[in-house]
């Protein structure tokens, strides 16, 4: 939940939970003093026999939400998000996502993979996940998008992860999935946005390269940053070394971001993220 910062809010919320047979097993809050905004994440154990989820939500709405102008999301622990994976030709992020999901370390369902190329269909086969090949050209952009949106809707997709998907996602998709499309950009944003960041980093002679995972917004590579990490390079490394070192970063950074997203630990506010532990 988040709302304008105000006194007594923690006390009110915790009392409500106790009164409604809930037991708080995790609570963390954060106050942005500049924006005067309050953020809180709570995990509650509850006996639903005594207070059903829908009743709980309805009472919370009427007793608390309106009063504090709360912006609140509720999730049942067993409701894990349904995530579609978009890829092109690079396989490192895709392999990481699928294998971690298969191991139970990434709490989501992956109903299908979409790609504008056929190259990685063999990985979808390995993991027995439907693979839709939707080529994108200047001419068919609109139809390709229609097809994507249809699949996303049909499969009740909650979130999309762009696992090195080499196409710019249109505003129709962004609007349909606000703060639900996660991208990995292969630079330390805001340095080197756009195409070929490793080449630009090499040309600039940096001593450190990075990767950035962020939510996709209308502005290219300018959405709320979720996670970043870096690795050291030196004059001895060529562009191809940057790429190899960078790919290890990309998969780690994207996976960290995706895990936190799937575990509902991220709140977006003011084009920034609050990421709870």
Q: Which residues are catalytic?
A: 221
Strands 22-32 and 37-46, bridge-based pairing: antiparallel
Report if residue 47 touches a copy of itself, rule: CB under 8 A.
Answer: no
Among 2, 56, 136, 224, binds a copy of itself (CB under 8 A): 224
Adjacent-strand bridge partners of 2:
39, 71
Told to check if 91 binds a copy of itself by CB under 8 A, we report yes
Identify whether the C-beta of residue 188 lies closer than 8 Å to the C-beta of residue 209. yes
Name the segment binding a copy of itself (CB under 8 A); options: 41-49, 65-73, 134-142, 250-258.
Answer: 250-258
* 147 is an interface residue for a copy of itself by CB under 8 A: no
Q: Determine which residue in the list 76, 139, 175, 204 makes contact with a copy of itself, applying CB under 8 A.
A: 204
Which helix or strand (DSSP H or E) is residue 42 part of? strand 37-46
Q: Is residue 228 a contact residue for a copy of itself (CB under 8 A)?
A: yes
Residue identified by tokens 């349909």 is 176
217: contact with a copy of itself by CB under 8 A: no
Burial level of 230, CB count in 10 A (0-12/13-18/19+)? middle
Residue nearer to a copy of itself on the CB measure, 177 or 188? 188
CA distance linking residue 197 with residue 209, whole number of Å = 10
Say if residues 247 and 90 touch (Cβ distance below 8 Å): yes
Considering the complex, what minimum distance in angstroms separates the CB of residue 172 from a copy of itself? Answer: 25
SS3 (DSSP) at 255:
helix
C-beta of 96 vs 158, nearer to a copy of itself: 96
Residue 238 found at the interface with a copy of itself (CB under 8 A) = yes
The binder of a copy of itself chosen from 51, 59, 100, 170 (CB under 8 A) = 100
From the CB of 253, what's the least distance to a copy of itself, in Å? 10
For residues 98 and 71, is the Cβ–Cβ distance under 8 A?
no
- Residue 172 makes CB contacts below 8 A (sequence gap 6+) with 145, 149
152 vs 182, which CB is nearer to a copy of itself?
182
- Rounded to 10°, the helix 239-262/197-204 angle is 130
**Least Cβ distance, residue 111 to a copy of itself (angstroms):** 19
Given a contact cutoff of 8 angstroms between Cβ atoms, the answer to whether 64 and 16 are in contact is: yes
Which is it for the CA torsion 176, 179, 180, 186, positive or negative? positive
Which range of residues in 40-48, 51-59, 158-166, 265-273 is near a copy of itself by CB under 8 A?
265-273
Task: Assess 103 for contact with a copy of itself (CB under 8 A).
Answer: yes
13/134 with CB nearer a copy of itself: 13
- Residue 146 and residue 132: Cα distance in Å, rounded? 13
Q: Catalog residues that contact a copy of itself under the rule CB under 8 A.
A: 7, 10-11, 14-15, 18, 30, 32-34, 91-92, 95-96, 99-100, 102-103, 105, 126-127, 188-192, 204-208, 210, 224-230, 232, 234-236, 238, 244, 247-248, 252, 255-256, 271-275, 277
């Amino acid at each position: 939940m988040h709302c304008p910062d105000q006194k007594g809010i923690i006390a009110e919320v915790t009392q409500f939970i106790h009164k409604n047979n809930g037991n708080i097993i995790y609570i963390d809050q954060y106050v942005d003093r500049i924006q005067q905004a309050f953020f809180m994440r709570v995990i509650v154990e509850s006996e639903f026999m005594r207070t059903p989820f829908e009743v709980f939500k309805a009472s919370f709405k009427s007793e608390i939400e309106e009063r504090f102008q709360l912006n609140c999301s509720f999730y049942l622990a067993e409701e894990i998000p349904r995530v579609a994976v978009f890829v092109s030709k690079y396989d490192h992020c895709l392999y990481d996502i699928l294998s971690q999901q298969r191991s139970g370390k990434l709490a989501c369902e992956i109903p299908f993979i979409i790609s504008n190329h056929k190259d990685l269909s063999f990985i979808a086969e390995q993991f027995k996940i439907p693979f839709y090949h939707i080529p994108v050209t200047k001419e068919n952009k609109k139809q390709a998008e229609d097809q994507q949106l249809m699949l996303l809707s049909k499969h009740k997709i909650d979130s999309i992860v762009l696992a090195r998907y080499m196409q710019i996602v249109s505003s129709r998709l962004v609007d349909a999935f606000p703060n639900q499309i996660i991208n990995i950009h292969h630079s330390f944003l805001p340095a080197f946005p756009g195409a070929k960041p490793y080449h630009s980093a090499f040309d600039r002679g940096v001593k450190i390269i990075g990767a950035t995972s962020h939510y996709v917004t209308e502005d290219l590579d300018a959405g709320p940053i979720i996670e970043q990490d870096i690795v050291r390079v030196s004059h001895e490394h060529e562009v191809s070394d940057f790429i190899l070192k960078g790919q290890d970063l990309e998969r780690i950074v994207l996976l960290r971001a995706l895990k936190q997203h799937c575990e509902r630990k991220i709140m977006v506010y003011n084009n920034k993220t609050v990421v709870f532990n």
